[in-house]
Amino acid sequence: MKSYPQVAKSLWTTRQTRLSYPQLASNLTPTLRSNCLKQAAEAGSLLKRVELLGQSIALTALLLVTGITTASAYDPNVESYKLYAHMKLGNDKQYRCLVTLWRLESNWSPTAKNAKSTAFGIPQLLKMKETNPYKQIDLGLKYITHHRIYKGDTCKALDRHKKVGHY
C-alpha cells in the first residue's frame, strides 16, 4: 500500500485564490467556453456595480442603525471619527447628542477654524493646536467630562449650545 506524504499547511498561510470566469471556462467545451467568456465580459462591469451597490447598502444600513443622516455621512473619514467617538462614549443617547453638537460646531471637520475666536478642530476647543482628529475627539470628550456643568453629559452640552450658540 502506497502512502502519500502528508503536507501540513497552516490555515493562516494558505493562499486563497478565486477562479475567474475565463479560468472556469477553460474546462468547458469550446461553445460553452465562448458563451461564458461573452457573459463574463458583459457581466464584468455589472459585477463591479453589484459589489459597489452591496457596499453602499451595508454602509447605508450602518448609518441608519447609528442614526447618522448628515450630508457628510458619506465621508469615510468623518464616519471613522464618529465610530471612534461612539466607542469612547459607549452610550447611544450620549453619542447622538455628541454627533449633533459637533456637527453644529465644526461639521466634524478636524481643520475647522472659528473666525471669531481661537477655537479649532472637531470639538472647537479654544487655543487647541492638536491636528490629529482622534486626539481632538479625546480632548473634546475630556473637556465635556471635566466641565463643571456638563459632568460628562454630552446632551447637557448640546442643550447649552442650542441656548447660547456654543458649549
∠ Cα 20 22 27 (to 5°): 110
CA nearest to 140, candidates 161, 163, 115 = 161
* pLDDT (tens place) for every residue of the chain, 167 residues total: 555 555 444 444 444 445 454 554 455 566 666 665 666 666 666 555 556 556 656 655 655 555 554 444 467 899 999 999 999 998 999 999 999 999 999 999 999 999 999 999 999 999 999 999 999 999 999 999 999 999 999 999 999 999 999 99
Residues 92 and 166 placed together within one structural domain of the fold: yes
Give the structural domain span for 139. Answer: 72-167
Residues 90 and 48 placed together within one structural domain of the fold: no
Residues 49 and 82 placed together within one structural domain of the fold: no
Q: Is 12 part of a structural domain of the chain?
A: no
What pLDDT score was predicted for residue 74?
61
* Residue 83, phi then psi, degrees to nearest 5: -65, -40
What pLDDT score was predicted for residue 101?
97
Amino acid identity, position 96: R
Residues 97 and 122 placed together within one structural domain of the fold: yes
Residues 93 and 110 placed together within one structural domain of the fold: yes
Pairwise CA distance, residues 29 & 93, whole Å: 61
Whole-model pTM over 0.85 = no
Pairwise CA distance, residues 95 & 58, whole Å: 21
C-alpha 34: how far from its chain's center? Answer: 42
**Number of structural domains found in the chain:** 2
What pLDDT score was predicted for residue 58?
63
What pLDDT score was predicted for residue 72?
45
- C-beta of residue 102 within 8 angstroms of C-beta of residue 122: yes
Q: Is 94 part of a structural domain of the chain?
A: yes
Residues 104 and 126 placed together within one structural domain of the fold: yes
Residues 158 and 93 placed together within one structural domain of the fold: yes
C-alpha 157: how far from its chain's center? Answer: 25
Residues 113 and 167 placed together within one structural domain of the fold: yes
Angle between helix axes 133-146 and 76-89 (nearest 10 degrees) is 30
Residues 61 and 129 placed together within one structural domain of the fold: no
Q: Is 1 part of a structural domain of the chain?
A: no
What pLDDT score was predicted for residue 35?
62
Residues 77 and 56 placed together within one structural domain of the fold: no
∠ Cα 22 23 29 (to 5°): 75
Domain end among 11, 39, 66: 66
User: What nine digits make up the cell of 21?
Assistant: 470566469
Residues contacting residue 140 through CB under 8 Å, at least 6 positions apart = 102, 121, 122, 123, 125
